[in-house]
A and B are shown apart, each in its own frame.
Chain A
């Protein structure tokens, strides 16, 4: 195994992705809406397609805005169907995101035609290629750092998420635990819900554009769910989430480099391996919990 700058960047991008999604994932898991990230990350497809059709560019900011808007629409329609048609929350989510995803597919295949915006790329991304898309060159004492665009974008998203979570920390705790009491006290649970949905939309779109949706969905849910098993306090849960996310990214990439060659295969997908490692860490947490809870 040879470790290159490329590998460092892949791990860094993986960690940034795990931290920015996991931070929000804590509150999604605690609000029992873990699959919302999955729904949003699929439902943004028509937004991306419309953005592309309007501008004709693949990297336009309008694609991003379109995607975030359709992500928010998903959250809005899900709540609306849940309330007004009395359809259970999970089912209404399923209705909304599959419909939007289907519209997105039709738009992309039918209207956008043979463009380079292709569905498999949007869904599966390619964390291995992120270091090649350099956004910024910095020279530090003779060493030239080529910072990939994905690392830059995800750092910005992470900082935004950190600021919003810290600034509203007590509001997140209150509205996640007891939305009715929060609303009666003037801390609108609905407002915080849509703020969380907006952050989730921004984060998933930014992240899966860089690294693909499977790792985004995995990092959004698996580390927080494991952390929830390991502690019964909120701040330690956030810290455990971060640690599990970092471990998944690092060990995932190492596993992708080292394990397949043992069996005579080429390297496996790093994003996939990061997801697999997160799943393994969750299993470890689940197995260790009954022992801990008994004491």
Chain B
């Protein structure tokens, strides 16, 4: 409980309701906890990185918050109201490997899926939906790839199609699971620009990220997770060697990543 409430008191900006409040969230598979007693208050308009070692429960945190996997305990509030009532304001970008890219759809059709929520059940896709989807595709630089079957896109382009689909939802809060995983440099740059565009539009982004070297440059709020929340707070206060050691334990290779991140941060 401690971190969240302290932040709450310390920060005047936090007097407005948090974009995302997670309270006492626990998820367990067969009595084994995957994430344990998560308490998080995440501010509106932040670019939030969720960081932790493999198996720390990062994806589980996102999926249980979105009610995709059952919670053992806990609640999730979006802008002070239960997630179920705020579904339409949240966009989810799953891991790229979670779907079958041989599925018979083209890029535009995938992006159009982002508009379905607004349509609701039964109602067929309209021309306006496709137009929104086209704009979203253009925003990620894939305007020329609309009619391409999705297996014929590169990994980075596939990731951008997923992001365009989230854009087409026109949500306020974006949950992204490893959008930077195995993408080319130009896609990485496109995603970073997109995150900044979203931030300047007042959107909140919760992003699972694996590359410690780029965490402080891309994000301004950090959640360190290893089954429990090790620390959550503004990047400059939270991204410390001690906190990272607490999160990753003695894993040397990861620590050397972190050290290079510090040196890069010092340079900039």
Contact = CB atoms under 8 A, between A and B. Distances in A.
Contacts of B94: 178, 180-181
B109 A173 contact: yes
A237 to B, nearest CB: 5
Contacts of A231: 104
A231 B102 CA distance: 11
Contacts of B104: 30, 228, 231-234, 236-237
A80 interface: no
B149 interface: yes
Contacts of B66: 180, 183-184
A169 interface: yes
Contacts, number: 80
Interface stretch (B117-125, B191-199, B205-213, B224-232): B117-125
Given A232-B149, A237-B104, A174 B116 contact: yes
Interface in A171-209: 171, 173-174, 176-178, 180-181, 183-187
A177 B112 CA distance: 13
Contacts of B105: 173, 177, 233-234
Nearest to A237: B104
B59 to A, nearest CB: 10
A170 B87 contact: no
Interface in A29-48: 30, 32
B63 interface: yes
Given A173-B105, A231-B104, A180 B113 contact: no
Give the contact-size bracket for chain A: 20 to 34
B121 A171 contact: yes
Contacts of B63: 180
B124 A169 contact: yes
A84 B122 CA distance: 33
B90 interface: yes
Contacts of A181: 92-94, 113, 165
Contacts of A186: 87-88, 117
A170 B116 contact: yes
A180 B60 CA distance: 12
B106 A183 contact: no
A291 interface: no
Interface centre among B88, B98, B103, B175 (most CB of A within 10 A): B103
Nearest to B115: A170
A272 B55 CA distance: 51
The 5 closest A-B pairs by CB, nearest first: A232-B149, A184-B92, A185-B117, A184-B66, A234-B104
Given A178-B113, A181-B94, A233-B105, 20 more contacts: A30-B104, A32-B100, A168-B121, A171-B116, A173-B113, A174-B113, A177-B99, A180-B66, A181-B92, A181-B93, A181-B165, A184-B87, A186-B87, A186-B88, A187-B116, A228-B104, A232-B149, A232-B151, A234-B109, A237-B104
Interface of B: 30, 63, 66-68, 87-88, 90, 92-94, 98-100, 103-106, 109-110, 113, 116-117, 119, 121-122, 124-125, 149, 151, 165, 169, 175
Interface of A: 30, 32, 84, 86, 167-171, 173-174, 176-178, 180-181, 183-187, 228, 231-234, 236-237
11 contacts: A169-B124, A173-B105, A174-B116, A178-B94, A178-B113, A180-B63, A181-B113, A181-B165, A184-B66, A185-B87, A234-B105
